[in-house]
Chains A and B, each alone.
Chain A
Amino acid sequence: MTLPLFSTTDDPGPDFTGLIRRLEVPSPTMMPTGSALFGSNGAGGNSFRHGTTVVALRFADGVVMAGDRRATEGHAIAHRAMQKVFPADRYSAVAIAGAAGPAVEMVRLFQTQLEHYEKVEGVVLSLEGKANQLSQMVREHLPMAMQGLAVVPLFAGYDLARGTGRIFTYDVTGGHYEETEYNATGSGGRDARTTVKLGYRDGLVRDEAVELAIQALYEAADEDSATGGPDLIRGIYPLVATVTAEGFLSIQDDEVAERFSTLIDRRRSEGRQL
């Protein structure tokens, strides 16, 4: 290894993706493309892992983001404790749905990119700037998405300049759209979104927002076979995090477990079949 030095006319600047391309370090953007290796329907019986439902909603102090823990391979459960909600940096979070391998790799690249920019430039990117960066990564992934390996992230963070939480959704072409209230993505995303929609109002407090996210995942797991519910036997619960002026904060497993058990008890006492 040598010191990565560039001439002033050929400097990659604070762009980490550009840097590793220059240094020829393998990255998701360098994945082989070509014939449709996986057919047009990636979710079918293919042997690569798939992550599912993630949800984000705004509340008074910022945003809540949550994701289930299941990864599937075709119709089989491939992993029961997958992480789909990640801190992108101190004030933002990214959640992923889609082909698990490239998705996790994209998150790693995104995290490194944000930190790299911050260190090289000495200032943190604006939230909008971060959302744009992720957009470019999703766009570069488009050839793989066309082959069935789609990655659809959800990005949320606390905008320090505006003093508010913001949510961005993406499509496979790299288009990003700001959401004013909430959104969800992944195979159970529709059910999660409907659940949040029914309980959402402006200015929710933290506890209400966390509760709503948990309900959303519960309903999604109830309707969608690829979404994992709370695993009471193994003690594996969905991951929930908040991003506020205090930064990214993962909610303790105990609190999430407690909320699920309260939810289940309440349903039972109402005489419902859960």
Chain B
Amino acid sequence: MTMPYYVAPEQVMKDRAEYAQKGIARGRSLVATTYDQGIAIVADNPSRSLHKISEIYDRIAFAGVGKYNEFDQLRVSGIRHADTKGYAYSREDVEARSLANLYAQYLGQVFTHEMKPLEVEILVAELGTGLRPPQLYHIAYEGTITDEDRYAVLGGETETIAQRLDQLWSAEWPLPDALRSAVGALAGPDRTLGGSDLEVAVLAEGNGRRAFRRLVDDELDALLG
């Protein structure tokens, strides 16, 4: 009988993190930023039907990068959580913070207890109200959760993209500026991204109860100038 080799827990965690990071870095990145009317989310995603950004609830949106089947399962469970909560209590009791915590708990648990960590990084965005500013919860593959009130970058090369965006970013900027800068930051100096290479959605005031709206085709092209 062969004895299993002893592997130090540090090594196990390091290997898992490396594995997850590699998986995430293989995919394309995504940027979310606040602007004067709400939150804009821009993903480098040429697909028209396999979405990275979607609606969770009246004022909450979800975005994911990495392995599609894994973040899509998280997206659906988020919708289930929000709809169930809104149905059992009231629509106003559904908030992003508790959902982001649930995601963090789950990702953390999978990372420490399962063989394979989830190769995803997700974002839960919530439109602000009169009392609260807009909130971007960024949750990493191992369950680390950070909240941003300016912008968030998910995927590979996040540092470079964040640096580029940081130089351009300004508070309360209008949507066309926000989109152009976000797209510029995603693309970098060596390539250009047009409307057909992008998936763009906003959470904005003025869309009625459901604040989530996709920007497509002519409307998007006009905004990108």
Contacts and interface: CB of A to CB of B under 8 A. Distances in A.
Contacts of B49: 122
Contacts of A119: 54-56, 79, 83
A109 B88 CA distance: 10
B81 A4 contact: yes
Interface residues of A, number: 20
Nearest to B56: A119
Contacts, number: 55
Interface string A17-49: 001100101110000000000000000000000
Contacts of B84: 4, 19-20, 23, 25
B79 A116 contact: yes
A133 interface: no
A115 interface: yes
A93 to B, nearest CB: 15
B19 interface: no
- Chain A at the B interface: SS class: helix
B77 A4 contact: yes
A25 B87 contact: yes
Interface of B is mostly: helix
B55 to A, nearest CB: 5
B51 A122 contact: yes
Nearest to A23: B84
A17 to B, nearest CB: 10
Interface in B74-101: 74, 76-81, 83-88, 98
Given A119-B55, A122-B51, A122-B54, A109 B87 contact: yes
Contacts of B102: 1-3
B81 A3 contact: yes
B71 interface: no
B85 A5 contact: no
Interface of B: 49, 51, 54-56, 73-74, 76-81, 83-88, 98, 102-103, 105-106, 210
Closest 9 CB pairs of A and B: A4-B80, A3-B102, A119-B79, A116-B83, A3-B77, A3-B106, A5-B77, A25-B88, A112-B87
Given A23-B84, A108-B87, A122-B54, 13 more contacts: A2-B105, A3-B103, A3-B106, A4-B84, A5-B77, A16-B83, A20-B84, A25-B88, A115-B210, A119-B56, A119-B79, A120-B76, A120-B79
